[in-house]
Structure 1
Amino acid sequence: MSVLDEFTLHGKTAIVTGSSKGIGRALAVALAEAGADICLVNRSEREGRLAAEEIAAETGVETLAVPADVTDEDDVEAMVEATLDAFGSIDILVNNAGIARTAPAHEMSLETWNEVLQTNLTGVFLCTKHAGKAMIDGGGGTIVNMASMSAFVANYPQEEVVYHASKGGVVSFTRQLASEWAKYDVRANAMAPGYIRTEMVDELLAENPDMESAWLSEMLMEEMAPPEDLGGTVVYLASDASSYMTGETVVIDGGYTVR
């Protein structure tokens, strides 16, 4: 087997949450291009279905769109059952669904705090709990959680303490999960992107145009990366190429945390 053969995902099934656009869609496309059949999970049924149809047409893999709220355990259980019914197994779970909210800590409402933690951390737990059980029953699998460089540094100038708390939790969750589930042949790793040019980032910059120059001044690269730049990493973490790696977080931030 050549080293490139270790990256193939043919015969595998992957669930990607928050995958109709942005980073999630780019990750789903990358996994599909490596050969995996994909279950795309989104709150919007229409957006998920369109994304699934387009990815299937572009890559030739089988796709399934499942509308689900990752903070709702009944939705998550139904999503796992739908994936198993369609494909027979779950080999890869990418916990990508997430939100960000900015507010000074002394002005942030409890509602905002809970909203972010529910999506970014509880959603990761629920999807891992139910998809992971299918992996354990099936003899193993790979989990990739979406953290952020914000788990390791303080961002500036935006004030988003709850986002940092949630992503720091994802890093710790991933490490502990890897320890507990190694005996089941389930690996768990995380990705920690920096500033990626997504619709969510563009919306934030539209309201705060000075932020971009502040961000770029701390980066070694000259511009933010497109979501597609994360595709190679998710394929590596999902494939046998990373078979000796678990409990780790890969930072992909254009050099922001170097300084």
Structure 2
Amino acid sequence: MDLFDLTGKNAVVIGGAGGIGEALARGLVEAGAGVAIASRNEESLKRAQKDIQEKTGKSVRYYIVDASDESSVVALVSVTVKDMGRVDILVNALGLNKKFPAEDFNMDVFNQMLKINVTGVMMACKHFGRHMIKNGYGKIINLSSVRGKIATKGAGNAAYCSTKGAVDMMTRQLASEFGPHGITVNAIGPTITETPMMTEIIKQRGGDEYRKAQAQGLPMRKMAVPEDCIGSVIFLAAPASDFVTGNIVYPDGGLTCVG
């Protein structure tokens, strides 16, 4: 048995048009899985679909979903199961990050981040989990962050850190509840990653000098890119991790060991 072969498995990546989400979807395709990506923005989905096709030679399905709306999540489960036959792997790569100093944090934004980063993940786990329970098998992988474990030194991340800490604990609790049904639930916790969206921000902050500064804080001495997350997700999606559940894996260049 090939412990990392996903041939015959179907995966849904919510947030699959984002920088990390698209990389994870591509990695799942390359490992042999049938893949569907989902998000709110159809243009982004079309672009990601085209990019994955060009890089892998294989096609992926795409679906529009509002992960903060439970009826939309239910509809996504229904249509993906109808079109793919069954869903074996769920990757929750959705997320929102807006920054304010804690003493001035806009509470509407705080609640918006809770709704997307925590409630949205829970709704996807709930409804895809129900489908997986019927099948007696499933792999759920949530996108957390090193900020679920360690705080930032500067201001601005009270909401982000709180939501990722919640995702970590949700992952452990769902692993406990879903384990008897043959479902594993794990998460990955990357560090700050140079996604396409981040590239423009990095330019504004000094380009290569900013990258070097970020790299100096990591034992691996390099800034993360989305591809650094792929291996962890393939492991957690594959038979190699069938006895691994309730864990947070950190593709973080060693930040959590020194942070």
TM-score (norm 1): 0.92
| CA spacing shift, 1:113–1:207, aligned 2, 3 Å | farther
Displacement after TM superposition at 1:52 (Å): 2.3
How far apart, in 2, do the equivalents of 1:6 and 1:81 lie?
29
Q: SS of 2:236's equivalent?
A: helix
Tell me which amino acid in the other structure corresponds to 2:240: A
Q: Say whether 1:33 aligns with 2:30.
A: yes
Give the equivalent residue in structure 2 for 1:197.
194
Are 1:28 and 1:38, in contact at CA under 8 Å, matched by a contact in 2? yes
Q: SS of 2:11's equivalent?
A: strand
Percent sequence identity over aligned pairs: 38
How far apart, in 2, do the equivalents of 1:227 and 1:217 lie?
19
Are 1:44 and 1:67, in contact at CA under 8 Å, matched by a contact in 2? yes
Give the equivalent residue in structure 2 for 1:46.
43
Give the equivalent residue in structure 2 for 1:235.
234
How far apart, in 2, do the equivalents of 1:128 and 1:45 lie?
23
Q: Say whether 1:63 aligns with 2:53.
A: no
Give the equivalent residue in structure 2 for 1:246.
245
1:211-226 matched pairs, under 5 angstroms? 215-226=214-225
Greater Cα offset, 53-62 or 72-81: 53-62
Are 2:214 and 2:222, in contact at CA under 8 Å, matched by a contact in 1? no
Are 1:157 and 1:214, in contact at CA under 8 Å, matched by a contact in 2? no
How far apart, in 2, do the equivalents of 1:116 and 1:139 lie?
32
| CA spacing shift, 1:205–1:57, aligned 2, 3 Å | closer
Unaligned runs of 5+ in 1: none
Unaligned runs of 5+ in 2: none
How far apart, in 1, do the equivalents of 2:144 and 2:129 lie?
18
| CA spacing shift, 1:172–1:80, aligned 2, 3 Å | same
Displacement after TM superposition at 1:42 (Å): 1.2
How far apart, in 2, do the equivalents of 1:216 and 1:62 lie?
35
How far apart, in 2, do the equivalents of 1:194 and 1:41 lie?
23
Greater Cα offset, 87-96 or 72-81: 72-81
Give the equivalent residue in structure 2 for 1:12.
9
Tell me which amino acid in the other structure corresponds to 1:63: V
Equivalent position to 1:154, from 141, 151, 155: 151
How far apart, in 2, do the equivalents of 1:13 and 1:237 lie?
14
Displacement after TM superposition at 1:214 (Å): 5.3
How far apart, in 1, do the equivalents of 2:210 and 2:153 lie?
8
Give the equivalent residue in structure 2 for 1:182.
179
Could you say what the CA RMSD is over the residues aligned between the two structures, in angstroms? 1.8
How far apart, in 1, do the equivalents of 2:250 and 2:55 lie?
29
Displacement after TM superposition at 1:216 (Å): 3.4
Displacement after TM superposition at 1:215 (Å): 3.6
Q: SS of 1:10's equivalent?
A: coil
How far apart, in 1, do the equivalents of 2:46 and 2:216 lie?
39
Are 2:148 and 2:168, in contact at CA under 8 Å, matched by a contact in 1? yes
